[in-house]
Structure 1
Amino acid sequence: MKVIVTGAAGQLGQDVLLELERKNHQAIGTDRADLDITIEGDVQAFIAEVKPDVILHCAAYTNVDAAEEDEETAYRVNGLGTKNLALAAKQIGAKMLYISTDYVFDGTGTDPYEVDDPTKPLGAYGRTKLAGEEFVQELLEQFFIVRTAWVFGAHGHNFVKTMLRLGKERGEVGVVHDQVGSPTYTVDLAKFMVELMETEKYGIYHATNSGVCSWYEFAVEIFKQAGLNVKVNPLTTEQFPRPAERPKYSVLSKKKIEAQGFTPLPNWQDALTAYLKEV
């Protein structure tokens, strides 16, 4: 299949390209320098010329705190950029897969969020990503929406890299213990995305690595696996104020992955082991 990957220079995009090549698909990566997804005419022309079978839409405005200050820019990328791609996909009859986020939920739940649970974003980032979801559902029939969370990979900035750096520099770190979720390794997520796009099993999916932890527990495991002796102090969310409110409970139910016959992603500790080997 001929596949366009947006956000190809990003943490997830790079692993998606590698996975597409591994499975012998024709992959065309685009980043902001090649294609500004916020310009409708450019998107239409580019997609019409390339005529992909699938668009894997990984590009996003992901700076959660900056989005609070500049929701307009976040909306232009996450909302309107996604709309432009959906319109272009519709014109040529291409499938589209859009990467969304746990931030579309408010995090007040106590059970893993199902794909059809009501959405209620806390902040600008979640609102703009949800706008993207709504455009995809409104404009397309051949769509996949994949919500994920706590993403880490070899090619970008992420929590694991930050912890390793701070641990080595300081020997002691403070990490919030009252926000709970599931880490997601980009290599595992990319495999699922490519497996999914090869099917006609359309709809919304939740994809993270298996298992649940707090950021504090994640940090402790990172130092344990890396063989670093670092003191990790548990903090409350209130002790670590940020411009954007974070969902306290970000666990996404992966029931649909199994129900549709896909392979669940490995547990997060094994994913972390694989990641540390990779880097």
Structure 2
Amino acid sequence: MKLLLTGAGGLLGSAVMAVAAERGDQCDALSRPALGGGQPAVTAAQLANSLAGYDVLVHAAANTNVEACETAPDDCYRDNFLLTELLAQAAALAGVHMVFVSSTGLYGTAGDTPYREYEAAVPTTHHHRSKLLGEQSVLAANASNLVLRTGWLFGGSAANPKNFVARRVDEARAALAAGRHIESNAEQRGVPCWNRDVATRLLDLADAGVAGVVNCVNSGNASRCEYVAAVVQLAGIAVEVKPSTAASFARKARVSNNEMADNWKMAMLGWPDMPDWRASLAAYLHGDLAAY
């Protein structure tokens, strides 16, 4: 495949670049067009010229600052909805298949078990509503496009300030040196997902021409507290991780306590299970982060 990718420097985008290279696929980075702020208007026709000759556009760039989206919603909808709509229209004009990376967080608060694709999305934050609007624009532009819902991504360079696993290792080491414990939210649940696992399956699905909304998460699920405890244990740091409530963490965004998802659609279509999150976390810590 010949792919064009937005968000190539991000957590998932960097993994897509690496996995594509390993597979022998050509994957080129597309700089995110600037919208608003006095910038000249960008049209779908202009963007379509950049897509000529490619098989797939993977749109992984996003405004992922859930808290900032609550205080600056216009920026959030510009980045996650309007840009996505323009790219979807451009891909349709260029005859290019599109893969849009979305979030399992947009299912909302209706259930307390892992969500499946046939369940309604009822987002509770501007971030997740903007992602849902992006999904709708992608599928409206071309019903053969793919929307991939994932979440709680980990992986990449330890130097990345947003590297959740590396930052928890830092926190645990600091706590050990100070002789104290650390705390983590025991109420919110989701699925820790290795960026390499998600990137690999994304490319497999794109190559197979799978369309529509597809959950793509590692197998299993965990609370934030269980997740952090696994990081600390696998990193070999003798620090206690104590459970705390969601209310202990002051947040502007009304994020759901349930961001779990189940890969129901992939299972129905005969795709193999995704790796268990604990096994992938161990592989990441003992591989990419072994020297950290």
By the TM > 0.5 criterion, same fold?
Answer: yes
Paired residue for 1:205, among 205, 214, 228?
A: 214
Aligned to 1:45: 46
Aligned to 1:175: 184
Q: CA deviation at 1:129?
A: 0.7
Pairs within 5 Å for 1:1-279: 1-32=1-32, 35-36=33-34, 41=42, 44-51=45-52, 52-155=54-157, 156=160, 157-171=162-176, 172-276=181-285, 277-279=287-289
Contact kept in structure 1, 2:3 and 2:55, CA below 8 Å: yes
Equivalenced residues, count: 277
Q: CA deviation at 1:232?
A: 1.1
Deviations 1:229-254 (A, max 9, x none): 11212110112221112211111111
2:166 aligned partner, one-letter code: K
**Which is further off, 259-268 or 36-45?**
36-45
Mapped partners of 1:73, 1:147: distance in 2: 22
Change (3 A) 1:79 1:152: same
Deviations 1:154-205 (A, max 9, x none): 1441321221111111232110000111111000000000000001221111
Deviations 1:58-91 (A, max 9, x none): 0000001110001110100100010011001000
Contact kept in structure 1, 2:102 and 2:148, CA below 8 Å: yes
Mapped partners of 1:142, 1:126: distance in 2: 23
Contact kept in structure 1, 2:35 and 2:42, CA below 8 Å: no
Mapped partners of 1:91, 1:57: distance in 2: 16
2:250 aligned partner, one-letter code: P
Q: CA deviation at 1:142?
A: 2.0
Q: CA deviation at 1:40?
A: 6.2
Structure 1 residues not aligned, in runs of 5+: none
Mapped partners of 1:170, 1:30: distance in 2: 41
Mapped partners of 2:217, 2:35: distance in 1: 26
Q: CA deviation at 1:115?
A: 0.8
Mapped partners of 1:198, 1:263: distance in 2: 16
TM-score (norm: length of structure 2)? 0.90
**Which is further off, 217-226 or 100-109?**
100-109
Mapped partners of 1:187, 1:112: distance in 2: 22
Mapped partners of 1:44, 1:228: distance in 2: 54
Contact kept in structure 1, 2:108 and 2:124, CA below 8 Å: yes
**Which is further off, 84-93 or 109-118?**
109-118
2:7 aligned partner, one-letter code: G
TM-score (norm: length of structure 1)? 0.94
Aligned partner of residue 218 in structure 2, secondary structure: coil
Identity, % of aligned positions: 29
